[in-house]
Structure 1
Amino acid sequence: MSKARGNLVEGLITLMIGLGLWLFAGDVEVPLVTLTKVGVVMMCVGGALVAAGFWRAARRGI
């Protein structure tokens, strides 16, 4: 698996987990963190990984 494809897969998985936390974990109470905020951060990181994967794919080809 190329680095570009790895970034795309990892980014999509992270983005989907973050979306799930943001949508469905609003009522869950955890000490120190708010799961909806963690979900937003994970979506941002996942989006950055997807963008990096597309960038690498465009530069080298998958």
Structure 2
Amino acid sequence: MSRASKYLLEGLVTLLVGLALWLLAGDVEVPVVTPAKVGMVLMCVGGAQSARGLYGAARRSA
């Protein structure tokens, strides 16, 4: 498995976990953080990792 595909897979998993937190944990109250906001951050990080993986795959094939 290449580095680009690892970034892509890790980014997609992070994005899906963030989406699940954002959609399903909105009513949960935690004293320090809001799970919905953590989900938004995870979605942004996962999107960035996925984009890096796609860029690496495109650069490698060109």
Q: Same fold (TM over 0.5)?
A: yes
TM-score if structure 2 supplies the norm length? 0.95
Provide, for residues 6-58 of structure 1, a one-character-per-residue CA deviation record: whole Å limited to 9, x for no partner. Answer: 00100000000000000000111111100000000000000000000000001
Unaligned residue ranges in structure 2 (runs of 5+):
none
* Residue correspondences, number: 61
SS of alignment partner, residue 59 of structure 1 = helix
Cα distance in 2 for residues equivalent to 1:4 and 1:24: 30
TM-score if structure 1 supplies the norm length? 0.95
Cα distance in 2 for residues equivalent to 1:13 and 1:56: 18
> 1:8-27 to 2 correspondence within 5 Å?
8-27=8-27
Unaligned residue ranges in structure 1 (runs of 5+):
none
Which residue is equivalent to 2:4? 4
Which residue is equivalent to 1:46? 46
**Alpha carbon RMSD of aligned pairs, Å?**
0.6
Which residue is equivalent to 1:58? 58
Q: Write out the 4+ residue segments of structure 1 that deviate beyond 6 Å after TM superposition.
A: none
Percentage of identical aligned residues? 64
